[in-house]
C-alpha cells in the first residue's frame, strides 16, 4: 500500500524547506553560484543570483535544481550544458528527490565538500528560466476563517 502525503499549502511548504536550507548554507559562509535570467539573457547580466545543485550519482545526465532566495525552485530536466535552456519547470510542491538532494548537499557542505553545488568556473553557471509572473497558478480557493 502506497501512501502519498499531500500538503495543504504545497508552495508554502516548498518555500519553507528551501528557506531553511538557504539559511543553513548562508550560516556556513556559502554563496549563490549561478546567474538566473528570466525569459531571456541580457547583456546587463543575470536578473538574480541562485543556487544550482545537481545529483552527481545518476546514470544519465543529472537533473539540475536552481533555488532562488525567495524559496522558488526551478528544475532543469535535461541537465546542465544540454543546449535546451527551456527544458525545465517551476516546482509547485516539495518532491522526494529535492528533499534528498538538499539533505545530501547540507551533509557535503558540513563535511567540507562542495555541497553538491554545480562547479562555478568564472561565472559559467547561467540558466534561463520561465518568467514566474507568466506561469499560470491554480486558484487555491477563498480563505475560510472561523469567527
Domain membership flag for residue 144: no
The CA distance from 8 to 118, in Å, is: 32
What residues make up the domain containing 86?
32-132
Q: Residue 65's closest CA among 56, 49, 77?
A: 77
The 8-class DSSP code of residue 134 comes to: G
**Residue 66 belongs to some domain of the structure:** yes
Whether residue 60 lies inside any domain: the answer is: yes
Degrees, nearest 5: CA angle 41-46-51: 120
**Does residue 13 lie within any of the structural domains?**
no
- Convert the pLDDT of each residue in 122-146 to its tens digit: 556 888 898 876 556 666 666 666 5
The three grid cell numbers given for residue 141, joined into one nine-digit string = 480557493
Contact 34, 127 (CB under 8 A): yes
- Residue 123 is assigned to a structural domain of this protein: yes
User: In the chain, how many domains are there?
Assistant: 1
pTM check: above 0.85 = no
| 7 inside domain | no
Number of H helices, E strands in the chain: 2, 6
When pLDDT is cut at 50, 70 and 90, the band that residue 107 belongs to is very high
* Residue 18 forms part of a structural domain: no
In a domain, 77, yes or no: yes
Amino acid at each position: 500500500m502506497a501512501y502519498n502525503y499531500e500538503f495543504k499549502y504545497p508552495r508554502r511548504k516548498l518555500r519553507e524547506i528551501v528557506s531553511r536550507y538557504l539559511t543553513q548554507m548562508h550560516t556556513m559562509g556559502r554563496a549563490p553560484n549561478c546567474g538566473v535570467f528570466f525569459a531571456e539573457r541580457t547583456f546587463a547580466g543575470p536578473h538574480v543570483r541562485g543556487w544550482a545543485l545537481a545529483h552527481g550519482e545518476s546514470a544519465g545526465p543529472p537533473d539540475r535544481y536552481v533555488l532562488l532566495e525567495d524559496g522558488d525552485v526551478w528544475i532543469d530536466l535535461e541537465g546542465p550544458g544540454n543546449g535546451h535552456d527551456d527544458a525545465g519547470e517551476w516546482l509547485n510542491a516539495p518532491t522526494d528527490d529535492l528533499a534528498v538532494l538538499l539533505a545530501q548537499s547540507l551533509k557535503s557542505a558540513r563535511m567540507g565538500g562542495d555541497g553538491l553545488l554545480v562547479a562555478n568556473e568564472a561565472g559559467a553557471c547561467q540558466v534561463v528560466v520561465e518568467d514566474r509572473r507568466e506561469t499560470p497558478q491554480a486558484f487555491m480557493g477563498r480563505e475560510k476563517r472561523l469567527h
